[in-house]
Amino acid sequence: MDTRDSIRSKFDLLISIFIVFFKIGAFTWGGGYAMLPLIKNEVVEKKKWLTSEDFIDGIAVSQSLPGPIAINIATYVGHRLYGKFGSVMALAGAVLPSFISILIIAMFFLRFRELKLVQNFFKGANPAIVALIVSAVIDIGMDALKRYREVIIASVLLFLLLYFKIHPILAILIAGILGIIFGEKK
């Protein structure tokens, strides 16, 4: 492969990263968690840019960092594929649709928000958002929870989160400590 082919191949990868995340950003409602199944489908199953395990690791890292998970996971995937330039392209692709949508909403929605058609559309979209989030939980949970011990830990933590309202960071710390205690030994 000569230098021009190599440059073209790298450029094509960067454009592909941008397009994948732009498409996901443009067609996902409901925030970052609703985007996770689409991101996984594109980067793990279709493009095979990451393995399922790498994707789950990216979610763990993304969840632990400040900021929206969709932006964090896009940046993670972009960086894994092409370093800083990949991060920038994935980030731009993920953010640009929301930015454009906000501009359009600011220009038109305020004028038309009282229309029953507009109100009914948003009420109708809510169940789809819930379904996307539940789908992400099930899909990622099936990949992440492979042993009974992991299922039990996740169930106990879910109970603690829902009924005792423990802080999510505390749940992550508890799970991390249990991972160290019960993890595989070298």
Quick check: is 119 in a domain? no
For residues 145 and 154, the answer to whether their CB atoms sit within 8 Å is: yes
The answer to whether residue 137 is domain-embedded is no
Measured CA to CA, the distance from residue 87 to residue 36 in angstroms comes to 17
Integer angstrom CA distances of residue 141 from 62, 67, 125, 144, 147: 16, 22, 24, 5, 11
In the numeric block, which tokens belong to residue 150?
């992991």
Q: CA-to-CA distance for 98 and 175, rounded, in angstroms? A: 33
* Local confidence pLDDT in tens for the 186 residues of the chain: 567 777 788 889 999 999 999 999 887 766 677 788 889 999 999 999 999 999 999 998 888 888 888 899 999 999 999 999 999 999 999 999 988 988 887 777 777 778 888 889 888 888 888 888 888 788 888 878 888 888 899 999 999 999 999 998 899 899 889 888 887 776
Residue 92 lies in a domain: yes
> Which residues form the domain of 39?
3-112
Residue 167 is assigned to a structural domain of this protein: no
Is 146 contained in some domain?
A: no
In a domain, 122, yes or no: no
Residue 169 within a domain: no
Burial of 60 (0-12, 13-18, 19+ CB in 10 A): middle
Dist CA 78 CA 126 (whole Å): 30
